[in-house]
Each structure stands twice: as C-alpha cells, then as structure tokens.
Amino acid sequence: MKIVLHGTRPPLWRRLVLPSDTSLGTLHDAIQVAFGWHGGHLHLFTDEFGRGYGVAADLIDLGFGREVGDEDATAVGDVLAEEGARLRYTYDFGDDWEHGITLEKTLPRPADAERTVRCAGGRRADVPGEDIGGVWGLADVLELIECPDGAEHDVHGGLVAGLRAAGYDPAAFDRDEITERLTRLTPDMASGTARQSAGGPAGRGGARRLTAEDVALCTCGQCRVGEPVDAGVDGPAEDVPVLRPVTLAPQEDLVPAVRGVPLFDAALRLAAWCREGRQVTAGRVLRPALAREAVEELQLWKLAGDDSPYADAVARARALKSLRSAKDVAVLEDPWWLAVDGGVITISGGRAWGGAATDLAGEDLLQFWAATMGDLLEEIGETGVLDGWHGELGELTAQIADGLVGLLYDAPDDVWVDVDDLGAKAREAGENGPEFDLFQALFAASFRELGDGLAQLGAVEYEPGDGDDSAEAALRTLLNTMGGQELGGPRTSSAPSDRSRGERRRDRMRLTPLGRYGLRTYLMECGVPAPLLGEYAEADAGALLRGLLGYSPEEMRREVEEWLGHRSAADAAVGLLDACAGEGPEAAAKRAVAQLVLADLDAPRALRVLRKAADSDVDGCRQVATATLGARPGTDVQVDPARAEAAGLWLLIDGLSLLAGAGESEELVRGFLENWNMAPEALEQRVDDLWRVEHPATAQVLAELGEGLRGVDKRLAKRMRTAANKAHSRR
C-alpha cells in the first residue's frame, strides 16, 4: 500500500508491505514508525464509506463513541478489499496530519513467508517534529532549516536549530533503515470481532459481497447488493510483466538530451554561476540585485514565452529595474527551485553554492532528471494537473492524468496520442450524458496541462490544438450548469472555430526517448514491472517464458530471436522443455508460450531433443514435445498421429485451465472455440475423447464448458456436462 502525507510538496510518502490479515492497530503502529511519529496523539482511520476505526475508549470525548469500529479487531484486508481501495488515517486532531492510504496490489502470500512489515519505497525524510501546526508548520520548518536569517526569533527556532545541528536533510530517504525500524514490529492478526461482510473476510482470500450498509453509504452510484467485488488476492505474480516491453535510447544519446532541455540547461548554468557563493534572502532566493544580474547574464529571459514582458528587451529592462524580490521573476523561479530541490545548488550560511555545469554528467545527470520527473508524476498522482481542485473532482483529475501517463507509455515509439481520438473511442463505446460531458471536459483540460508540464521537462513533444481556451471554457460552462466548483484563474471566452471538427488541429503529444527513459525509471521505482526488449537474452528458459506472457506477437518474435542468438538450438530446446514441467497456472502458461517458441526450432539436434522428450514420462514436457513434432509431418523425426492428437487434447485442457474457476464461463467458452477452431458438430464427435484426457483440470474445464455452452448449443452443453461427470467418476 502507498501512504501519502497529504499537503506536502514535494510529496512525502511511504510504500509498505504487510499481511492482509494484520489489524488496523498494527497498521497504525507501522505508520508511526515509517513517518517518524512519536505516538503521543489520538488517531482515526476512516474508510471510503465514512466509517471510522480506532481505539473507541480514546475517541469518546471527541464525539465518535460507538460509531468507531475496533481497529484491533479489523483486518487491513477487510477494509482495503480490492486494489485501488482507499483509507484515510488522521493523526493528532489539532495539527490534523492526514495520510491517504491506497491499496496498490494484493499478492498471494508464500507458504513460508514470515509475518513482517517492510518498506518497499518512499520519498523524503521523516517528519522532523510534532505539534508544529500541521503541514503548514512543516513547510515553515523546512524553509527555515537552510535559512539562518531570523530563524532564532521564529516560533520554531529551537526545533530548527536542533535539526540544523543534527544535519537533518529533508530530501533524504533510506528504505533499508525504515525497514530495519519496522522489523521491531510483529504484525498481529485481527481478533475477528469487527463487523464482517456477508461474503467473509475479503483480505483472507475470495470475493467480498457488499452489504446493504455498504450500498447505503456508497456515493459512486454503481454498487448493488450481492454483486461480488474481486479482492484481487490471487492477482498476477510480481515477475509477470504487465506493460508492453520497450526499447531505450543509449545513455550517450540521453545525456545530451537532458542538457538540451532549456529548463535543465538553465538550472545547470545557475549552479555554475553560484560556484563562488551568491547571497540569498531568508526565503532562500537570490537578492534582487543578483536576480537581475542572473536573468541578464545567463539570458534566462529566453525561457519566457513570446507574450512575456521578458521577451522584449525594453520591457525586460523596465521589469527588472522595478524588481523588489526574486520571487517575482518567473524566468528565474523554475530553474532556481529545480536546482535547489535537486541538490545542484545548496544553501548554507546565507549563500547559495553550486558547482561547474560539467560537474553533473553521465548517469548522475540522468538520475537528476529522472528524479525531477518522478517528483512531477508523484505530485500529479496526488493532486492532478489542474490548480484549485479539491475533493472528488480533484481525485478524478489525478486519475485522468495517471491514465494519460499510462497511455503515453503504451503508445509505440514516434506515435502521437491524440486527445480527440481518445474521446471518440469513448463515444463509440456508448458513453453519453452530462456526467460524461463533464468527464470529457476534465479529460481535455488535464491533457493540455499534462502536455505543458511534461514538455517543460523534455519528456514529451506537445502540440496544442486550435482554441487555447476551449477545454477550460467548456469545463467552466459545464461546472456552472451542474453547480460544481469552478476552475481558478481569469474567466475567458473562446469563440467557436470556423473550421469543422475534421479540419481542426487537435491537442496531441508523444513521448520522447528521454521521456520513455524517465517514465520507465519511475514505474520501476514504484514496483511496476516495465520490461525491456532484449532483457531476457541471457535469462534461463523459465524466465523467458514467464516474461513473454505480456508480449505482442511481434515483440515475442524479436525477443525470442535475440534469446536464441545466445545459445544453440539444442540447448534452447532442452531449456524450454525442462521449463514445461510442473502443475498449476504458471506451468500451464509457460507451456502455452513454449509451444510457440519450439515451433520455430528446426535444427536436427533440436528435433532429436524433442523426440527424446516425447518418449519421456514427464507430464507437460511429453505433451509439448509430441504436439510440436506432430505439427511437423515433413521432418525426419516423426511421432504417431494418434499420440500427437492426444497430446493436442491434453494441451487444450491445459490451456483452458488458465481460465477455469475465474467465474466467467463465457470467457472460457470463447477460448475453447478459438483454440479448437472446429464446427460444433465436429466437437460433438470428440466429447468422449475430452473426458478421457488425464489432466488434473479435465473435470473442472468440462463442467464449466457445459455451463457456458448453454447459450451456444444446448445439446453440446449437455454432452459436455455428461463428459464432466464421467471425468469426475474416473478420478
């Protein structure tokens, strides 16, 4: 789960992993440890339905009383029942430190796993103190730590002096050190006296069914009593790629690309300009005279747009002459804070200190750039890309932006992502109505803001369409009509375009090679598998087969070609067949991919390996080898056609077993018909052959096919159910 301390910028967050049957009481302890809290104040968990969980005896005086569920009797998995579920944790009802908790992934627990809590990621150092006025006080403390001017007179002077003396670094994060602290906790198991849903505790496996109380409290408008909510407990393993594989540009191309980004180039030149130390104010910005000098000497005014007063020499001179604070210089602010927050410029003793522009090079420069992009994506994930949004609409803009980032990553190299094309696809899906119009307007506005933000980092090429204010104007109109909140900023009007929809230039963007590198770095940091084409070249066959599950046919072909190029055909055949042994869904999935890879091996020695495996007594290996040889009638190495047909039936059941038990019989039937590729009348002739297949999943697959085929062919469905009964009897 990801836990974010709301209101911090850059975001302060932790990613924790713990058993799903752990109590909320232990989660409270883990949050205290992970963020550096001292535990001296009250706290409360609040779920998405508004129900509270905590220590009731402590909260009665605050007006909660009997409405609060017992946190020690409530399992984390019962409250966070499915991926994406959210929980709020409030600590100290004076400072109101609010933490947003999101369940990102639920995985099967290894049989021999110890009960532990560990930190899997995060950003920023622990909170430096309590009773400082919440996130606003925290911001003041962090600003004063590196600005000694006047700090001794501030209400936080003592804390700041102590932190400065201890060398406190707000940007420091040590995952291993936090995990070490967490090892002192022993996750308990919820006592089980909390309110349970009708379907049993979702956090311990299976699906949870919504209760009438859930539906009454739900605000999404989509819940129905009795509909199952998948808890995701048996989700995909971490090592199975969920994103398409990509290629990255070489580092020698990416480093110059970073230096070619105007914002980063300006930050590096500012660092070099501060090499001997430049005086700063208590607000950690350059003194006004130095700010004027930096803008002119470093030509920072070139960062301004054509409509900026800094773009014109006369207007620029006038604006700089009247300057009273460096905070008023837009062309200085972004590169300055980029350099300071990134550690390229450090502030101490009332001066800013930097290094030569060449000090940051190679991988270090790439890491600096990637960390900046990661900070932007973190902020987008928490607040969206539109200023002034709060509550549900704010969360929606964050989800939209997050989805857009995924679409960018999924798009092939050099392919543009077009905002109108995305909207048209939604229209084709039958979406309509005022709510959808609002979503479309939010989507268009988010698309534009995301494009602007990523373009400043050189992560995308962004081309705005016609009518600069059309998205925002439509959004304001819809919100006024629906009585919602209004986008901040001046109200502008936008005249309709004279050109038709087909002639309009549309908003569009595409990832640059630098952007793909940065986005993949961010995904990997978040624990999301993001494979590279060619990364399995030196891997063993088992890792290759698992990795290829998410690949397209073309990507699979390229990966296999490179893998085969690093070993002989015979060695490849041996490794692939060895990986085909075993039971369960993972082994069945590997066998399905292995057949595709082995089909291209035609070297004589590889065929002899297949022949030897076809005569073995190892299930999985034998069937794959036999079916592969049976599909090669013209080769010198032959197998009996009847054996090849039997192996094909076994592999058909084996492949369908991946869909069995998923609760979607239609999906299994579709897979059956697609894999069998025969008319129903021909299938009837083979029903008796299917029930004889000696596969652990035969009876289950046939029973579910019998149910799913009712709407396709009732007579065939009945035959399938009869065959299932025979398979059960034979077992």
Provide the token pair at 9. 């910028």
pLDDT digits (tens, 9 = 90+) for 324-344: 887 777 788 889 988 887 788
Q: DSSP letters along 443-464, please?
A: HHHHHHHHHHHHHHTTSEEEE-
Cα 322–325–326 angle (5° rounding)? 110
Average pLDDT, the chain: 77
Averaged pLDDT for residues 290-319 = 81
Q: Residue 523 falls within a domain, yes or no? A: no
Give the strands of the sheet with 508-511, arranged side by side.
417-418, 508-511, 460-463
Task: Measure the CA–CA gap between 530 and 524, rounded to whole angstroms.
Answer: 6
The answer on 455 and 488 residing in a single domain is yes
Domain span at residue 689 reads: 659-731
* 540 within a domain of the structure (yes/no): yes
Residue 676 has pLDDT above 80, yes or no: no
- pLDDT reading at 67 higher than 80: no
Asked whether residue 429 is domain-assigned, the answer is yes
Measured CA to CA, the distance from residue 455 to residue 585 in angstroms comes to 43
How many residues are listed for the chain in this entry?
Answer: 731
Comparing 467 with 636, the larger pLDDT belongs to 636
Q: If you compute the radius of gyration of the chain from its CA atoms, what whole number of angstroms results?
A: 30
- The pLDDT, as a whole number, for residue 393 is 67
Asked whether 371 and 365 are in contact (CB, 8 A), the reply is: no
Question: CA angle, corner 218, sides to 213 and 223, nearest 5?
Answer: 90
Rounded to an integer, the average pLDDT of 311-326 is: 79
> Are 180 and 53 in a shared domain?
yes
User: Over the stretch 406-459, which tens digit does the pLDDT of each residue have?
Assistant: 888 888 888 898 887 766 655 554 455 556 667 777 788 888 888 888 999 999
Residue at token pair 């094909």: 648
Pick 277 or 308 by higher pLDDT.
277
Give the Cα separation of 360 and 611 in Å (integer): 58
Q: Quick one: DSSP state of residue 567? A: S
% helix, strand, coil for the chain, step of 5: 50, 10, 40
207 occurs within a structural domain: yes
User: Do 690 and 632 reside in the same domain of the chain?
Assistant: no
Q: How many Cβ atoms sit within 10 Å of the Cβ of residue 556? A: 18
Given a cut of 60, whether residue 664 has pLDDT beyond it is no
- 630 and 664 share one domain: no
When mean pLDDT is compared over 152-156, 239-243, 508-512, the highest value belongs to 508-512
What percent of the chain is predicted at pLDDT more than 70? 75
Backbone dihedral angles phi then psi of residue 477, each to the nearest 5 degrees: -60, -45
- How many alpha carbons fall within 13 Å on the CB side of residue 633? 3
The CA-based dihedral angle spanning residues 419, 424, 426, 430, taken in that order and rounded to the nearest 10 degrees: 160
Mean pLDDT of all residues in 112-128 = 86
User: Which residue in 664, 658, 610 sits closest to 637, CA to CA?
Assistant: 610
Same structural domain, 482 and 564: no
Same domain membership, residue 190 and residue 42: yes
Residues 634 and 718 placed together within one structural domain of the fold: no
Q: Count Cβ atoms within 10 A of the Cβ of residue 215 and give its class: 0-12 exposed, 13-18 middle, 19 or more buried.
A: middle
Out of 52-56, 288-292, 294-298, least confident range: 52-56
Type of residue numbered 634: G
Q: Is residue 129 part of a domain?
A: no
Tokens at residue 720, please?
A: 């399938």
- Condensed to tens digits (0 to 9), the pLDDT of residues 472-517 reads 555 555 555 545 444 444 433 333 444 444 555 678 899 999 999 9
pLDDT score recorded for residue 717: 82
371 in helix, strand or coil?
helix
Helix (H), strand (E) at residue 97: strand 97-102
Tokens 């006047």, residue located: 150
d(C-alpha 380, C-alpha 13), whole Å? 14
Q: Is residue 485 part of a domain?
A: yes
Angle at 384 between CA 383 and CA 387, to 5 degrees: 80
Could you tell me if residue 161 is inside a domain?
no
32 pLDDT more than 90: yes
Q: Is the domain of 177 the same as that of 68? A: yes
Q: Are residues 370 and 314 in the same domain?
A: no
Asked if the structure places residue 30 within a domain, the reply is yes
| Same domain (yes/no): 28, 106 | yes
Same domain, 679 and 567: no
- Is 563:539 a contact under the CB 8 Å cutoff? yes
Q: CATH number, domain at 101? A: 3.10.290.30
CB 228 within 8 A of CB 208: yes
Nearest to 64 by CA among 79, 80, 43: 43
Six token digits for residue 346: 């450090």
Fill in the amino acid letter for 44: L
List the structure tokens of 163: 């932190």
Q: DSSP 3-state assignment of 100? A: strand
pLDDT higher for 251 or 197?
Answer: 251
Cα–Cα distance, 407 to 398 (Å, whole number): 14
Largest distance between two CA atoms of the chain: 94
Q: Which long-range contacts (CB under 8 A, 24 or more apart) does 273-276 make?
A: 273/297, 273/298, 273/354, 274/345, 274/352, 274/353, 274/354, 275/353, 275/354, 275/355, 275/356
Per DSSP, the three-state class of 714 is helix
Write down the pLDDT at residue 636: 64
Q: Distance (Å, rounded) from C-alpha 283 to C-alpha 278?
A: 14
Interval 173-182 mean pLDDT: 89
Burial of 518 (0-12, 13-18, 19+ CB in 10 A): buried
Q: State whether 66 and 92 are in the same domain.
A: yes
Domain count, the chain: 5
Residues facing 15 on adjacent strands: 2, 121
Q: Which residues of 223-257 are buried (b: 16+ CB within 10 A; e: fewer)?
A: eeeeeebbbbbeebeeeebeebbbeeeeeeebbeb
What confidence score (pLDDT) does residue 18 get?
92
